[in-house]
Chain A
Amino acid sequence: DQQVKQNSPSLSVQEGRISILNCDYTNSMFDYFLWYKKYPAEGPTFLISISSIKDKNEDGRFTVFLNKSAKHLSLHIVPSQPGDSAVYFCAAKEGGATNKLIFGTGTLLAVQP
């Protein structure tokens, strides 16, 4: 049972435009959400996170939006750059003293120059 879903396996965007990556979850116990960027054969790199008590968090070109009622979050990258091309994973944590992450299946973002 996939508790965190990224329904778009891939996304192609022009340089300078906005990239929007989406993530849905089913477990209402999830309280904290994270986005990671990953290159092949490397570990994921942390990008941005959001707590369930917020609906938006910004860090430079990256903004994460959380719609708790819809169990949906999205990552916006503005403006997109060719170096952003990678696989993006969303991940979720349940409340409590744990660092266990449940990952989505990833979206491959290709930013075209």
Chain B
Amino acid sequence: KAGVTQTPRYLIKTRGQQVTLSCSPISGHRSVSWYQQTPGQGLQFLFEYFSETQRNKGNFPGRFSGRQFSNSRSEMNVSTLELGDSALYLCASSFRPQLNTEAFFGQGTRLTVV
């Protein structure tokens, strides 16, 4: 069974631009979460989607947004990019939001802002 697919794998953008990252969850999984990994802050939760609804949001500015489609695929968007947005962005897939369930991660998108 295919795993979590994130595209693109690598991206270089200029300050002020915007970027859209994509995530296709494991087949049958309907919950998608996004995380940002930076050397200074570690792995930080961005947001969580289930059935096209945002269920939870982390402590990030409004420049970070996301959505989920009816086929459970998700996108996240970062507008007005800053140098500090350079990070590995990870998507995690789960069957549904519930306590005793594991999240499976994609390989991530490495975003570099110059």
B110 touches A101 (CB 8 A): no
Smallest beta-carbon distance B27→chain A, Å: 17
Judged by a CB distance under 8 angstroms, whether A113 is at the interface is no
Contact A101 B33 (CB under 8 A): yes
- Whether A43 pairs with B90 at a CB distance below 8 angstroms is yes
Residues of B within 8 A of A (CB): 4, 6, 31, 33, 35, 42-45, 48, 55-56, 58, 88, 90, 92, 94, 96-108, 110
21 A-B residue pairs with Cβ-Cβ distance under 8 Å, sorted by A, are A31-B99, A32-B100, A36-B105, A43-B4, A43-B90, A43-B107, A43-B108, A51-B99, A89-B43, A91-B43, A95-B99, A97-B55, A98-B48, A99-B97, A99-B103, A100-B45, A100-B58, A101-B92, A103-B43, A103-B44, A105-B42
